[in-house]
Chain A
Amino acid sequence: MPQDLWTARDTTPDDVEAALRNLVRRAHATDETLAPARVLNLVVVIEARWQELIGQRLAAVGRYHASRTVLCTVHDGRDTLDATAAISYEEIRNGIGVVLEQVEIDIGQEHLDFIDTIVDPVIISELPTVLWCPRGPDEVINRLMRLTDVILLDSDDQPEPGEALHRADQLLDSAYVVDLAWLRTTPWRERVAASFDPPWRRPALDQIAEISVRHQGRSRASALLWAGWIASRLHWDPAPLRAPARGGGLEGKAARPETEVGVKLEPTEMPTPGLAGVTLACEDGFSLSLDRAAGGLCAHRRSPDGHKATWKVLGASRGEGGILGEGVRQALLRDPTYGPALDAAREFCPV
């Protein structure tokens, strides 16, 4: 992907914005098929120690990148702004070459108190702005909230899932939240919804006696959100889960009319964040398990008469780069079920 670059030390946001405009104008003058992408602004604020890691994740988003990315890296002891503005263009497709803009600004801790005044001039105000502060302090989010339409976060990133989900819930009052922990559950939600979609199988939803979620150790928030999703969709009343006497994980109950549903969260070894499998068991002996496998999910079904079947549900894993790209894409959509699932997930959290 060809790239044009501008760089300056001890600069100002206005200069950065002017430089971007010049880069775009120059590119268009050179080749009139080049046109700037206008989808959304992605503002990322990180501490310097995470710069390389976050840079790698941003580079891996694939086709779902923001049209203008503003990366603010916070350095200890810095009191000036250094910046790089760059445009890169995709190969010409359908008669146009799409120009993407990237801004990197190195700032100091002292700039955080007025970071909104640094970011404001370099975003395109008529486009939605997505804010992502991985491992960043809440004050930064609060400062930038007036510019923000969508907050991108990853509840799996926090060591304590209860706090992560509480924070997501608070942010939901101020902006639309795209939670990567929620997006990791998407294939599992889609497949369970599909399994119970044939009308003759829907009554089984009222007979679910137990659900269990297998998840990577660090992805307990994802597991809670999946359990919260099914609980909220089926109007169960969740109760706080507890650590069992033996083994890891959490277990407990959710109430549904006249009976209870057993809920288990089981951490398991796996290299990537997210869920490893889910099982739903019904009162009449029917059960369905979905487990992560190469090229999709491995499905196991036991019928009430004891008949067992195993098959593969096809689908390629998006990987962690894909999840972040999906987060950017989801910023332009609205999912009405995240809020209720989040509420239920919080109710499942151990007290």
Chain B
Amino acid sequence: MTAVAAPAHENPLIEGLERLPVHPTVLVIFGGTGDLAHRKLLPALYNLAHEGALPERFELIGIARREQDHSDFRAVARESIERFSRRKPNKDVLEGLLADMRYLPGRFDDDRVYARLKRTLAEFDDKAGQPLNRIFYLSTAPEFFPVIAGELGRTGLNQAERAETRIVIEKPFGYDLASARQLNAQVLEEFDESQVFRIDHYLGKETVQNLLAFRFANALFEPVWNRNFIDYIQITAAEDIGIGGRAGYYERAGALRDLVQNHMMQLLALLTMEPPTAFEANRLRDEKLKVLEAIVPPSTDEVAEMAVRAQYAAGVVGGVRVSGYREEDGVAPDSRTETYAALRLHVSNWRWAGVPFYLRTGKALARKVTEIVVTLKPVPHLALRSTGSVGVQANQIILTLQPDEGATIQLGAKIPGTGMRIRPVNMEFRYGTSFLSESPEAYERLILDAMRGDATLFTRNDEIEALWGIIDPILTAWREDTSSPIPQYPAGTEGPDEAKSLLAPRHRWNRL
């Protein structure tokens, strides 16, 4: 008989299993009645339960200010799951998940809440006959993050005997570099870095993780993935809708904080980092950190040359007239919050020196699309004439994250006929045609990873600070500039003309 031997300290039964074990866990959601819990977290937990992916012993506690009892919370959770789950709930699984769900009402700074939480956790441990791992998921307004972390530390809930304790912190992690540093310090006063899971749900998306597979599992791309072959790279995260009812949040955040500092910079890091020696949390994050540190933050004086901000004005999106940003409910008529941001960044290292990275994001643009366009340098000598055709264009590798997940390689090909005329053609790979299975929601993957203690897809403290370090001078320059007019772009267009000023000669923004 042959068998694959596992080292003595490992569980020999996990070899070959697609779904690795998760230890018995109690998940405590602070902000359990909030929008994120309602739309994402509770449906994700149901889907994990449906697939048999939750730990064998799993308990859930919701904490929020709303006065209600356990059964009210279960009713709300049922509604969330029935409405937002990606699959129709199985009655027995749903009932099983809801059966012993608990709710603790109270303010996040109220000692009595933590005393009750402690009792409930002990009760669950007793019921299970073993200490359960504890995950505290902070799905609250950011001002409560230090409050909750502090209370958990003060009441001794930041650690447990014979069980792991982890804290998951939603974005935004900080408002600028100083606040991010302060929050890191406050959280790390109570928890060890290995216990802290800063979530950016973008990293849980299959297509974002596939960037790593695309780069490091294919010999085709890595040889050209450097300054010798790549002319420039642009990353676009465009939305065709305005701010909707989120004026309160958006007026404080703006496009730079909302998307660039986290999602887009993460894409940039994954796109430019060196290959990690292993797909393991700290190895991967070390490489991301290195490349983020190679992006030299601009001085305040340089910001005007490398960053453009704008706001959408009234226009037409998809045939529908929409108001301008300053006319939206809840937005100040003289608001200077950007709904569009474009940047030109440089990664100052051996691989990328001299290659501009153009990032742009905006609301109320012509189309919803998130994509990375890698434009290669033109061929050094062209024997073919371009008469009678659009000619030879630089190759582009386009990685689309949404709405149509896939990759396109743009090549020059001969137009059929007697002449040697060339035009660009597309070689396309679409996820939907090669993987007929449905991808799990990002939150399903991330919750499971947090329960397993795998921090690979979470952001480390030094990484967070490096991300803010790049963005902070731009925020400062824009905050201090209270007089120059904010460029306006009509809703439904490609964005402001001013964004073209960031581009080097011959470079262009790809059409949305």
Interface positions of A (Cβ within 8 A of B): 35-39, 63-65, 67, 93-96, 98, 187, 189-200, 202, 205, 230-235, 237-238, 294-296, 299, 301, 303, 307, 309, 311-316, 329, 333, 335-340, 343-344, 347
CA A347 – CA B13 in complex, angstroms?
Answer: 20
Which chain B residues border A36 with CB–CB below 8 Å?
433
In the complex, the answer to whether B96 meets A312 with C-beta atoms within 8 Å is: yes
B318 CB–A CB distance under 8 Å: no
B46-54, B197-205, B306-314, B351-359 - the one binding chain A: B46-54
Take A67-B436, A193-B21 as given contacts and tell me if A336 and B16 are in contact as well, using a CB distance cutoff of 8 Å. yes
Q: Output the nearest chain A residue to B95 by Cβ-Cβ distance.
A: A295
B2 CB–A CB distance under 8 Å: yes
Q: Quote the shortest CB–CB distance from B43 to chain A (angstroms).
A: 15
Which chain B residues border A338 with CB–CB below 8 Å?
16
CA A344 – CA B437 in complex, angstroms?
Answer: 33
Interface positions of B (Cβ within 8 A of A): 1-5, 9, 11-19, 21-24, 49-58, 90-97, 127-130, 162, 402-405, 428, 430-438
In the complex, the answer to whether B17 meets A343 with C-beta atoms within 8 Å is: no
Which chain B residues border A96 with CB–CB below 8 Å?
404, 430, 432-433
Q: Quote the shortest CB–CB distance from A286 to chain B (angstroms).
A: 11
Inter-chain CB contacts under 8 Å: number:
154
Task: Report which of A189, A198, A316 forms a contact with B90, defined as CB distance below 8 A.
Answer: A316
Take A37-B436, A316-B50 as given contacts and tell me if A299 and B56 are in contact as well, using a CB distance cutoff of 8 Å. yes
In the complex, the answer to whether A296 meets B92 with C-beta atoms within 8 Å is: yes
CA A307 – CA B19 in complex, angstroms?
Answer: 30
Additional A-B contact list (8), CB under 8 Å, known A187-B52, A333-B18? A39-B434, A39-B435, A98-B436, A190-B21, A191-B52, A316-B90, A336-B4, A343-B1
Take A63-B436, A344-B1 as given contacts and tell me if A309 and B129 are in contact as well, using a CB distance cutoff of 8 Å. yes
CA A187 – CA B17 in complex, angstroms?
Answer: 10
Task: Report which of A35, A65, A313 forms a contact with B433, defined as CB distance below 8 A.
Answer: A35
Which chain B residues border A187 with CB–CB below 8 Å?
52
Q: Would you list the 5 A-B pairs with minimal beta carbon distance, nearest first?
A: A295-B92, A315-B52, A95-B404, A337-B16, A194-B21
Q: Quote the shortest CB–CB distance from A200 to chain B (angstroms).
A: 7
Which chain B residues border A196 with CB–CB below 8 Å?
11, 13
Q: Quote the shortest CB–CB distance from A29 to chain B (angstroms).
A: 17
In the complex, the answer to whether B11 meets A193 with C-beta atoms within 8 Å is: yes
CA A335 – CA B16 in complex, angstroms?
Answer: 5
Task: Report which of A192, A230, A232 forms a contact with B1, defined as CB distance below 8 A.
Answer: A232
Which chain A residues border B93 with CB–CB below 8 Å?
295-296, 314-316
Q: Quote the shortest CB–CB distance from A32 to chain B (angstroms).
A: 11
In the complex, the answer to whether B436 meets A294 with C-beta atoms within 8 Å is: no
In the complex, the answer to whether A233 meets B432 with C-beta atoms within 8 Å is: no
In the complex, the answer to whether B96 meets A189 with C-beta atoms within 8 Å is: no
Which chain A residues border B130 with CB–CB below 8 Å?
198
Q: Output the nearest chain A residue to B5 by Cβ-Cβ distance.
A: A235
In the complex, the answer to whether B3 meets A235 with C-beta atoms within 8 Å is: yes
CA A201 – CA B177 in complex, angstroms?
Answer: 44
CA A299 – CA B127 in complex, angstroms?
Answer: 14
In the complex, the answer to whether B12 meets A303 with C-beta atoms within 8 Å is: no
Task: Report which of B1, B17, B49 forms a contact with A189, defined as CB distance below 8 A.
Answer: B17
In the complex, the answer to whether A296 meets B129 with C-beta atoms within 8 Å is: no
In the complex, the answer to whether A329 meets B11 with C-beta atoms within 8 Å is: no
Take A39-B434, A315-B52 as given contacts and tell me if A205 and B92 are in contact as well, using a CB distance cutoff of 8 Å. no
Q: Quote the shortest CB–CB distance from A69 to chain B (angstroms).
A: 12
Which chain B residues border A67 with CB–CB below 8 Å?
433, 436
Q: Output the nearest chain A residue to B49 by Cβ-Cβ distance.
A: A314
CA A196 – CA B54 in complex, angstroms?
Answer: 15
In the complex, the answer to whether B436 meets A197 with C-beta atoms within 8 Å is: no
Which chain B residues border A232 with CB–CB below 8 Å?
1-3
CA A158 – CA B131 in complex, angstroms?
Answer: 46
Task: Report which of B4, B13, B58, B402 forms a contact with A94, defined as CB distance below 8 A.
Answer: B402
In the complex, the answer to whether B436 meets A65 with C-beta atoms within 8 Å is: yes
Which chain A residues border B21 with CB–CB below 8 Å?
190, 193-194, 197
In the complex, the answer to whether B17 meets A190 with C-beta atoms within 8 Å is: yes
Q: Output the nearest chain B residue to A311 by Cβ-Cβ distance.
A: B57
Which chain A residues border B9 with CB–CB below 8 Å?
199
Which chain B residues border A65 with CB–CB below 8 Å?
436
Q: Which of B9, B51, B54, B96 has the largest count of A CB atoms less than 10 A from its CB?
A: B96
Q: Quote the shortest CB–CB distance from A195 to chain B (angstroms).
A: 6
